[in-house]
């Protein structure tokens, strides 16, 4: 058991950290904004404009995702301080053990909240469009892309986020050539922007029986919640329609409703096939295209190279952000932060928190 003086200092440290978080996360402003939105939601005609109503609901959910855990942590810290003073006065050693456990749990919770303070970008709180596509490596790369898809879907599930499939392109022999997802959850873009880049796998290929290196890339674009003021002329677009399909499940829409839009000046290609109508697929594809063009403009205006633009590098050797080695040894290592893990199966099962946390802290530095 820790000495009571040490526990007292740790509680003091927790209270100081909460005070800093209150200021850095703007708790007072967020609480005030929550009250405004909740009052608006009480109006009987709130749902008359569904688009505005859904935007308010999403905003309130995002505000609560920050404010409620911080308020709860503050209350727990005060309760912990009061309990400590009572237990110290009574000299109850077993009860002091319980206080120490509560202190340790609070310190862990604050570590997660402090990460939110790093998500200060203008669009970090937005949902995002999340794309995986293959690079060099043939069938191995297609299977690797599918492994990455499974990894990220497990991660989204762990966080309680919703991922909707917008487009799915199966590989010719195995795996997938590409997939586009809409990911919604508190600070989805902020957490995932650091995953943008090339991911490299080294393993014994199930196709050749030899050690092979495969590449797949991840692109992450904010799903901007405000109107995107970008004008695109018809002559800049090449629009193709095709029959959607795939492995089953969601991929059973066999009408010619899928839409692929190519922006000729930039070469950006967006495909959507999840909606039943061609019109709906086209509208969503245009929204994604405008989001990517806006992201591209913002990166070009940046005073320095965007540290999260690694996904635009060549999808091959030397441009990767993270290596996943299955043979001759097992190791996952992020080349930017130096973060590594020896249990590759655990990482591929969605255990990405340590890598994402390390990238957020690295990006701030």
Closest CA to 327 of 180, 205, 149: 205
The domains located in the chain, with CATH, are: 4-118 (1.20.58.410), 128-364 (3.30.70.1660)
Closest CA to 345 of 355, 359, 358, 332: 332
As a dihedral over the C-alpha atoms of residue 157, residue 252, residue 247, residue 311, rounded to 10 degrees, the angle is -60
Whole-angstrom distance, CA of residue 187 vs CA of residue 69:
14
What is the bridge-based pairing of β-strands 211-222 and 176-184?
Answer: unpaired
- What is the per-residue pLDDT for 229? 82
Angle between helical axes of 27-41 and 4-24 (0-180°, round to 10): 60
Whole-angstrom distance, CA of residue 144 vs CA of residue 204:
12
**pTM greater than 0.85:** no
Q: Give me the residues of the chain with pLDDT under 70, please.
A: 1-2, 136-137, 245-255, 302-319, 365
- What is the per-residue pLDDT for 114? 84
Whole-angstrom distance, CA of residue 161 vs CA of residue 352:
14
* Mean of the per-residue pLDDT values of the chain: 87
Q: Which residue has the tokens 């935007």?
A: 55
- What is the per-residue pLDDT for 314? 56
Task: For residue 105, report the phi and psi dihedrals to the nearest 5 degrees.
Answer: -65, -40
- What is the per-residue pLDDT for 303? 45
Q: What is the pLDDT of residues 193-230, one digit of tens each?
A: 999 999 999 999 999 999 999 999 999 999 987 778 88
C-alpha to C-alpha distances, 72 to 21, 75, 79, 97, 117, nearest whole angstrom = 13, 5, 11, 22, 17
User: What would the 3-class secondary structure string for 284-350 be?
Assistant: HHHHHHHHHHHHHHHHHHCCCCCCCCHHHCCCCCCCEEEEEECCCCCEEEECCCCCEECCHHHHHCC
- What is the per-residue pLDDT for 4? 83
- What is the per-residue pLDDT for 252? 38
Give the DSSP H/E element, type plus range, for residue 257. Answer: none
């Amino acid at each position: 058991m820790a000495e009571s003086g040490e526990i007292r200092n740790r509680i003091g440290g927790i209270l100081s950290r909460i005070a800093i978080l209150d200021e850095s996360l703007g708790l007072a402003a967020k609480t005030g904004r929550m009250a405004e939105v909740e009052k608006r939601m009480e109006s009987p005609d709130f749902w008359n404009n569904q688009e505005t109503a859904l935007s308010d609901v999403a905003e309130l959910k995002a505000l609560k995702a920050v404010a409620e855990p911080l308020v709860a942590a503050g209350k727990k810290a005060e309760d912990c301080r009061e309990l400590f003073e009572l237990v110290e006065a009574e000299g109850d050693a077993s009860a002091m053990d319980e206080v120490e456990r509560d202190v340790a749990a609070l310190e862990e919770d604050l570590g997660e909240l402090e990460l939110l303070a790093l998500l200060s970008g203008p669009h970090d709180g937005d949902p995002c469009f999340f794309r995986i596509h293959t690079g060099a490596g043939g069938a191995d790369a297609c299977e690797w892309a599918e492994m990455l898809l499974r990894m990220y879907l497990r991660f989204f599930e762990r966080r309680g986020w919703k991922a909707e499939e917008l487009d799915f392109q199966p590989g010719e022999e195995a795996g997938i050539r590409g997939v586009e997802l809409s990911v919604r959850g508190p600070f989805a873009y902020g957490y995932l922007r650091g995953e943008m880049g090339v991911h490299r796998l080294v393993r014994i290929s199930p196709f050749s029986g030899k050690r092979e290196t495969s590449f797949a890339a991840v692109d992450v674009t904010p799903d901007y919640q405000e109107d995107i003021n970008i004008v695109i002329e018809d002559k800049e677009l090449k629009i193709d329609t095709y029959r959607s399909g795939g492995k089953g499940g969601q991929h059973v829409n066999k009408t010619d409703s899928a839409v692929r839009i190519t922006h000729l000046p930039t070469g950006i290609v967006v495909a959507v096939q999840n909606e039943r109508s061609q019109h709906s697929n086209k509208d969503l594809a245009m929204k994604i295209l405008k989001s990517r063009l806006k992201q591209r403009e913002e990166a070009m205006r940046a005073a320095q190279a965007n540290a999260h633009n690694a996904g635009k590098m060549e999808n091959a050797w030397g441009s990767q952000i993270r290596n996943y080695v299955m043979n001759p040894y097992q190791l996952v290592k992020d080349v930017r932060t130096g973060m590594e893990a020896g249990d590759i199966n655990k990482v591929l099962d969605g255990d990405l928190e340590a890598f994402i946390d390390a990238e957020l802290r690295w990006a701030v530095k």
